[in-house]
Amino acid sequence: MGIISSSSPEVAGLKGLHLYHFALSNCSQKVRFCLEEKGLPWTSHVVDLGKHEQATPEYVAINPKAVVPTLVHDGVVVTESSDIIDYLDKHFPAPALRPTDPAELERLYRSLAMWDDLQISLKTLSHHLLFKQRADTVRPHMAQFESVIKHNDELLEFLREYTSEKGLSSQRVERATSSVDHALSELNNRLADHKWLAGDSFSIADIAWSIDVHRFQLMKFPMDQYPAMLEWYHRVESRPAFKKMVVDYEIQVLKSFTG
């Protein structure tokens, strides 16, 4: 569970739910979607990734990994988006977004773990296919990233390669593509004879994976070979909470951020 003790006195006294997030961050989209599905009021704190605000000392004091989102609930800091939506569903159980059957609950957690494992591949393909021009804007800030990011070696390794003269290697892109194909095949197999990813009802597993499928569509990743998954995705994207917390938010910044 990504519950941490923040060194920032500003968050220790916060009451209620506060979310530090960015409109186009898929991990932020996932948490906003969950908050809306559960009907929870929350206070927004935008961390502008376009301006590299995630690497400021002030934000790193809240989240040492220098990533979004971060949830603060009555002064308790929760990081990692899968941990955040699990935390929200446990602490605010109505409406429930998890199955009651133990085997299906185990399936839900396996699904979230698979989601977490895929994120470096999604980041790779997002930057390779969707954010092609962003390296030039990130490169001048690498010294800042190197100085403040002390607890996220994977992110630093990615940024070093992304901003290098050669950019992301073909090997990294090929590994990412293979990983995504494998994950989408698993989703399609499950959804060929089930309406939802875990149990008989919509759950936080569906929240998580619908966000990534949405991103793959934005980057025009080929998905026609996964018809059951696409049918499921279209059901999820029709939910009012998805439109409000994913689509409407990203429209505000997508054009300028993809440049």
pLDDT at 174 over 70: yes
Rounded CA Rg of the chain:
18
Domain that holds residue 38: 3-91
Contact call for residues 22 and 49 (beta carbons, < 8 A):
yes
* pLDDT score for 251: 78
Task: Tell me, yes or no, whether 23 and 56 share the same domain.
Answer: yes
* pLDDT score for 12: 86
Q: What angle in degrees, to the nearest 10, is found between the helix axes of 81-91 and 26-37? A: 10
Cα atoms in the 13 Å half-sphere on the side-chain side of 184: 28
The CATH number of whichever domain residue 232 belongs to comes to 1.20.1050.10
Q: Is 177 exposed, middle or buried (0-12, 13-18, 19+ CB in 10 A)?
A: middle
pLDDT tens for 185-204 read 999 999 999 999 999 999 99
Q: Which among 91, 117, 151 is the end of a domain? A: 91
Name the residue among 72, 8, 6 with its Cα closest to residue 35. 72
pLDDT at 257 over 70: no
Distances, alpha carbon 111 to alpha carbons 7, 39, 118, 211, 234, in Å: 32, 24, 11, 13, 19
- pTM of the predicted model as reported, rounded to 2 decimal places: 0.93
pLDDT tens for 130-158 read 887 678 888 988 998 888 888 889 989 99
Task: Tell me, yes or no, whether 123 and 200 share the same domain.
Answer: yes
Task: Tell me, yes or no, whether 113 and 226 share the same domain.
Answer: yes
CB-CB neighbours of 242 under 10 Å = 23
Task: Tell me, yes or no, whether 54 and 34 share the same domain.
Answer: yes
Task: Tell me, yes or no, whether 115 and 235 share the same domain.
Answer: yes
Q: Which among 52, 69, 91 is the end of a domain? A: 91
Task: Tell me, yes or no, whether 139 and 216 share the same domain.
Answer: yes
Number of domains in the chain: 2
